[in-house]
Structure 1
Amino acid sequence: MFKTIWHIGGLYRLALNLRRHHAIETLNAMPVMPALLPSLLRATTFFIPRKRRLPENSGARLALALSKMGPAYIKLGQTLATRPDVIGRPLAEGLLTLQDRLPAFEWKAAKSIMESELGTVYTDHFSAFDETPIAAASIAQVHKATTLDGQSVAVKIRRPDIIRRFQKDLSLFSWIAALAENHSAKARRLRLTDVVKTVEDTTLNEMDFRKEAASCAELAANMEGEHGYRIPSIDFDLTFEKMMTIEWVDGIRLIDRDQLVEAGHDLNELSQRIVQIFLKQAMRDGYFHADLHQGNLIVEADGTIAAIDFGIMGHITKKEQQFLAEILYGFILRDYERVAEVHFEAGYVPRSENVHEFAQALKAIADPIMDLPVSEISAGKLLAQLFATTERFSMQTQPQLILLQRTMVMAEGMALHLNPEANMWEISRPILEAWMRDNLSPEIILADFITALPKLIRKLPASLERLLDLLETMDQTQAPNTDMPQKGNPITAWVSFTLGLIAGAALLKIFFL
């Protein structure tokens, strides 16, 4: 009871802040919002004056309101920016402007946290340390320093008491999501509690800098030898749960387009490289840098793109890589029947739906976009319309793909920032074609099967034992009928067929190896 009262109070505090930023009206545009709730919130917050000089765009006003509520609301807003099916496309586009910037916390607190992690005074490890942070975000702030061996580094220090604050706000989000799912079939389809769980999992992982350091090292290993892209090195001796030390990177941030032009960098080439690097990480490795905003990519003097901030990483399975590649490549070829079939094969759309009707719906979404001039084709808009259209085909949200959707939109946004004529589809095509050739050719499929064969054989005895137990149970429960001609047991026949198939595969393995 007390927790419910506290959650209602938290909801009301959110309503007051939305009122100040003229953002209650934005709730009307959200498909999952109960019709009477915006009116109720307006009636109970009428006495709160609105701030002046607010953005005209409703999504930008909502982004501003969330940024004033604290770190958890910023992370929630960034996640909702990838979910036009939950909040509507205009609001989702507006939330893309949400910046993860907060005032810095005091040097005294930063020094205390750092020395607690080091177990000694910081001057035992650094010859110089800038007390004024160069950047401050919702989870941490960053200081420039020099190690005792003269290495320039960036030191990331976690905000004090941040986990407790996040968990308090996330408790409210979970309560609201559960309330919505209990009273709305649409909310259940959109799996709002899973959306909140995704925010919680990614954020808590982001707060442990040992995990971020490990992610950085894994990504560096995956991308080793990739021309024009690199990952700075981590100083693991000076990295702990609340503190991380990473190589300092000099260069121009991708957001500073004019400086890049002045320095003589090829913006078209940079835009293509950003998109193709992301696709290689996602499609080839299934592990990608999922915080691809322009401040996290720096162009060095020789044109190399250096990535920083690895708190948010995305992971998709090999099967999901295949589905994604086929869906994107199908759109490029306008093979909507195949795109629809992949959705059904992946289980994204229930088999009770009609695959041909789904293909026609995809065609209706994609053709108007694909027929636009090159400068107006947007993969991000296509994905937004795709996920907004799937409701009538009972397609459930896939939480594991939320970060991927968001990162694809961000990658395209950066490419367009550098080159307004950039075409996501044409940039993506060679990477997708290479992936299809390397992973879906008959030779590769056969090789994958042969590689998996030893594991299958190891499991065979236990599987056969279970099947024989089942046959014995069936024989005991079924009385023989002597008047009818005897036929082979279909399960026994299936077992024989399976054994023959495995034996044949074993011979193939011997032959090819």
Structure 2
Amino acid sequence: MTLSSPALTRSTSHFQQYDPEEIARYYRWRFPLVVWRTVSVLLRLAWFCLGSQSDRLLGRQSSRQVQRRASQLRALLADLGPTFIKVGQALSTRPDLVRVDYLEELTKLQDQLPSFPTTIARAIIERELGDVVEEIYAYISPRPVAAASLGQVYRARLSSGEDVAVKVQRPYLRRQLTLDLYIIRWVSTWVYRWLPLNLGQSLTAVVDEFGSKLFEEIDYLNEGRNCERFAGYFDGDLDVYVPKIYWKYSSKRVLTLEWIDGIKLTDTAAIQSANLDIQSLIRIGVESALKQLLEYGFFHADPHPGNLFALRDGRLAFIDFGMMDQLSQDKKERLVGALVHMVNQDYESLVEDFLYLQFISDSVDTAPIVPAMQVLMDDILNEKVGDFNFKTATDRFSQLVYEYPFRVPPNFALIIRSLVTLEGVALSLYPDFKIIGVAYPYVARRLLTDESPALRKRLLDVLFKDSKFRWNRLENLIGIARTDSSPLDLSGTAQMGLRYLLSDEAGDLRIQIVLALTEDDRLHVEEVRQLWELLQPDLTPDHLLQRAAKAIREALPEVVTAPIEQLSRLLPN
């Protein structure tokens, strides 16, 4: 090794993306630094493991002692720095890897760290933006208003008068992250074969995926793009607000965005004193999460209380878009079906959903899993849909994964974290909140009104089983969808369904419907009558005439549709 080696002269600042091979080449020349950090980390982790093992051998397994050890682990990870805080946060989403006792404690790792000196933060701003702070901002707070593991935030004002938040990354962050990731990856290649893990991939691959996500999060330009993309999805939404990004004053390590003058969702007293409707805020939060997951496929993966604000006009504001993830169209649609199968207690179909979503390997015999799932879910639902609690379901599921070969795919680990956190915020505001009370009406409405061919097929999968039409499922879906706050318009669905029923691709469906109407050697007139009574409020003559007028307007030239346009204006809305 010579002093002129390129590996020694480069700094970690050139690592703009996670590249494990390049990082390995860099630290191969810094053996003493690697050894010092490795020994420091492993000794502290070994001391914790020794204490936990002695508890087991000496029979000290009381819930109080377990809670004390879980708290020690959280404090240890926080003390080891940003990388290990992020590791703890990632583990808090993995009920297949971490005991239930520890999960709750790890969820408390909300990036609470001491701030670094403002003099250093100002130097970073000036170096990144190419000017002195006083020329960039008309005012900037002398101390940070918030500090986290990856950076800290200042309140400032632009010379044009806009109040902004200035997010500044911690110094030497890439150096610390790359060193820790190099060590964790090296250790993972040795310990994986001795660990009873069911990850569906190698531990090294999991580390690489974690490193890639972490590097995305420390790129503030990427966060700004995420923010604008998120805002685009909610453009025109009267309930959700997303801050504006000021690109002129932003870089990879400094992000300037609109200041959100709101109330943290955990501040119940302030929300009540502002005369805001708590239940409305909860509904907005849950429905916006469902839209992210099931419609847009692009979701905020870190909706902890510090990232959600109630505005004084009743809207909900999101901030911090460093940790985002994406779902494919087929996974979005499968999630819709899985939720319906769960609530309808169709456990065979639910296990099929788990297979498709890769919670279960294709090689696993699912026969014993179905009854186990039935026992688990029946206990959770307790025969009442409204009693469903996502946190309880996650805890119970974590018990199931130790008995059966379940695993949690990385995408869904983030979804679990997102939903559990959101539910926790909602429960802190309104203890009687039930997430299924908002989620299932939304899903039912989407199944009944969405024109997507895939969701239309998903609706048919729900309504037909073993070539038999399940009348009660359709009645339940319509009834539950009507519990939503907005009116349910089924005339478009009826029109779409009739058009599909008459198409060539629905030949088998027409046969199934005929068989359903004559099932058990009798004509199912009563079921049809009950269904008609259920649909009748949405299929009034006026409503149908308005629909017909709209269809004609879309199909014919304007000169023909002008009289129909005048007629439709006379009809009640």
TM-score of Structure 1 vs Structure 2, range by shorter chain? 0.7 to 0.9
- Establish whether residue 361 from structure 1 lines up as the match of residue 388 from structure 2: no
Q: Which moved more, 1:412-421 or 1:384-393?
A: 384-393
What secondary structure, in the 3-state scheme, does the structure 2 residue paired with 1:298 have? strand
Residues 83 and 177 in structure 2, CA contact (< 8 A), matched pair in contact too: yes
Do structure 1's residue 202 and structure 2's residue 233 form an aligned pair? no
Change in 2 beyond 3 A, CA 1:427/1:444:
closer
* Aligned-partner Cα distance in 2 for 1:157–1:227: 31
**Is residue 232–residue 308 contact of structure 1 (8 Å, CA) maintained in 2?**
yes
Shift of 1:366: 1.2
Q: Which residue of 2 aligns with 1:491?
A: none
Match of 2:327 in 1: 316
Q: In structure 1, what is the equivalent of residue 76 of structure 2? A: 65
SS at match of 1:329: helix
| Aligned length, in residue pairs | 429
**What does the per-residue CA deviation read over 1:299-327, in whole Å, with 9 as the maximum and x for residues that have no partner?**
11112111111111121111111222222
Say if 2:341 and 2:349, in contact at 8 Å, map to a contact too: yes
Pair 1:250 & 2:277 matched = no
Change (3 A) 1:234 1:441: closer
TM-score, normalised to structure 2, is 0.68
CA distance in 1 between partners of 2:121 and 2:231 (Å) = 28
Measure how far apart 1:386 and its partner are: 2.8
Amino acid aligned to 1:95:
L
Alignment of 1:51-450 (within 5 A): 56-186=67-197, 189=200, 191-371=202-382, 377-386=388-397, 388-390=399-401, 393-437=404-448
Which amino acid in 2 is paired with 1:96? T
Identity of aligned residues (%): 28
CA contact (8 A) 2:153 2:166 kept: yes
C-alpha distance in structure 2 between counterparts of 1:337 and 1:112, whole Å = 60
Query: How far did 1:443 drift?
Result: 8.1
Per the TM alignment, residue 337 of structure 1 is displaced from its structure 2 partner at its CA by 1.4
CA–CA distance in structure 2, aligned partners of residues 365 and 5 of structure 1: 51
**Higher alpha-carbon deviation: 144-153 or 120-129:** 120-129
1:171 CA displacement:
1.9
Change (3 A) 1:358 1:435: farther
Q: 2:40 aligns with which of 8, 13, 27?
A: 13
Instruction: Provide the C-alpha distance between the structure 1 equivalents of 2:355 and 2:198, rounded to a whole number of angstroms.
Output: 22
Q: Alpha-carbon deviation of 1:436?
A: 3.0
Distance 1:284 1:400, change over 3 A: same
Counterpart amino acid of residue 235 in structure 1? Y
What is the identity, as a one-letter code, of the residue corresponding to 1:147? L
Report the Cα offset of residue 440 of structure 1.
8.0
Tell me the amino acid that sits aligned with residue 40 of structure 2.
R
What is the deviation of 1:240?
A: 0.8
* Cα distance change on mapping 1:442 and 1:126 into 2, 3 Å: closer
Deviation at 1:268, TM superposition (A): 2.1
Does structure 1 conserve the Cα–Cα contact (< 8 Å) formed by 2:95 and 2:394?
no
Deviates more, 1:255-264 or 1:393-402: 393-402
Query: For structure 1, which segment, 295-304 or 379-388, has the greater mean C-alpha deviation from structure 2 after superposition?
Result: 379-388
Q: In structure 2, do the counterparts of structure 1 residues 27 and 121 end up closer, same or farther at CA, with 3 Å as the change threshold?
A: farther
Q: Does structure 2 retain, via aligned residues, the 8 Å contact 1:181–1:187? A: no
Q: CA RMSD in A?
A: 3.3
Q: C-alpha deviations, 1:331-358, integer Å up to 9, x for none?
A: 1221111101222334442344344432
Please give the alpha-carbon distance, in whole angstroms, between the structure 1 residues aligned to 2:232 and 2:399. 37
Q: Secondary structure at the match of 2:197?
A: helix
Question: What amino acid sits opposite 2:194 in the alignment?
Answer: H
Instruction: Please list, as runs of the form range in 1=range in 2, the aligned pairs for 1:19-34 lying within 5 A after superposition.
Output: 25-26=51-52
1:383–1:120 CA distance, 2 compared to 1 (3 A): same
Distance 1:111 1:7, change over 3 A: closer
Q: Where do 5+ consecutive residues of structure 2 fail to align?
A: 1-27, 59-64, 458-503, 506-554, 556-573
Matched to 1:286, the amino acid is G
Instruction: Kindly indicate whether the alpha-carbon contact (under 8 Å) linking 1:133 and 1:143 is maintained by their aligned counterparts in 2.
Output: yes
Distance 1:28 1:368 in 2: 35
| Structure 1 position 405, deviation (Å) | 1.6
- Please give the alpha-carbon distance, in whole angstroms, between the structure 2 residues aligned to 1:199 and 1:270: 32
Hey, what's the Cα distance between the residues in 2 that align with 1:443 and 1:339?
17
Task: Describe the SS at the equivalent of 2:164.
Answer: strand
| Cα drift, residue 180 of structure 1 | 2.5
* 3-state SS, counterpart of residue 338 of structure 1: helix
Alignment correspondent of 1:452: none
Cα distance, 1:290 vs structure 2 = 1.1
Mean Cα displacement is larger for which, 176-185 or 437-446? 437-446
Identify which range, 236-245 or 60-69, moves more after superposition: 60-69
**Secondary structure, counterpart of 1:172 in structure 2:** helix
Q: Using the alignment, how far apart are the partners of 1:318 and 1:89 within structure 2?
A: 32
Deviations 1:404-460 (A, max 9, x none): 1211111111111111111111221122223334568658669xxxxxxxxxxxxxx
CA displacement at 1:177 relative to structure 2: 2.7
Between the aligned partners of 2:137 and 2:120, the Cα distance in structure 1 is 18
Q: CA deviation at 1:298?
A: 1.0
The ranges of structure 1 where at least 4 consecutive aligned residues each deviate by more than 6 angstroms after the TM superposition are: 1-8, 372-376
Pair 1:5–1:182, CA change in 2 (3 A):
farther
SS in 2 for 1:86: coil
Change (3 A) 1:264 1:207: same
Q: Distance in 1 between matches of 2:354 and 2:406?
A: 9
Q: Aligned partners of 2:329, 2:170: CA distance in 1, in Å?
A: 36
What is the one-letter code of the residue matched to 2:178? Q
Residue 245 of structure 1 and its aligned partner are, at CA, apart by 0.5
**Aligned pairs for 1:481-492 within 5 A:** none
Name the counterpart of 1:471: none
Amino acid at match of 1:136: A
Q: 1:350 to 1:126 in 2, by over 3 A?
A: closer
Distance in 1 of aligned mates of 2:300 and 2:32: 39
Shift of 1:266: 1.9
CA separation of 1:272/1:340 partners in 2, compared to 1, >3 Å: closer, same or farther? same
Q: Residue deviations 1:268-298, cap 9 Å, x none?
A: 2222221221111111000011110001111
Q: CA deviation at 1:216?
A: 0.2
Of 156-165 and 435-444, the range deviating more from structure 2 = 435-444
CA distance 1:172–1:445, change in 2 (3 Å): same
Amino acid at match of 1:433: A
Larger displacement relative to structure 2 (343-352 or 258-267): 343-352
